[in-house]
Amino acid sequence: PDHGKHVLTAFQDVGEQTVPLLKKMLKDPANEVWEEKIIILLGRISGTAAQDLLTQLLSEKHKHTPVIIKSLYRTKYRANEGTQRQM
């Protein structure tokens, strides 16, 4: 979108309630250019829902693994044994 930065800021301000919408956006191929920014946004939003989506993305979006790990770190996520193997 033309106002992408403002939209992402608004999502961050709303917080964890936006995670289901961000999940939908990540599944839409039209938003592929925004994937990395959405993943970074999930790290800033933090919370359990964001962490769950980020760990799910580890197995789905391999090309973004470094960004996903950085975003999980930002949420103070503590990886279990299974998640550590994916990293």
Token pair 């960004």 is found at: 67
Q: Give the pLDDT score at 76.
A: 86
- pLDDT at 16 exceeding the cut of 60: yes
Type of residue numbered 51: Q
**Burial letters 31-63, b for 16+ CB under 10 A, else e:** eeebbbebbbbbbebbeebbbebbbebbeebee
- Taking only the tens place, the pLDDT of each residue in 28-63 is 888 888 899 999 999 999 899 999 999 999 888 889
Question: 46: helix, coil or strand?
Answer: coil
Q: Give the pLDDT score at 71.
A: 93
Q: Which residue has the higher pLDDT, 77 or 83?
A: 77
Q: Give the pLDDT score at 43.
A: 95
Q: Give the pLDDT score at 87.
A: 64
- Read off the tokens for 30: 């039209």
- Read off the tokens for 53: 């989506």
Helix axes 35-45, 4-14, angle to 10 degrees: 30
Q: Which pTM was predicted? A: 0.83
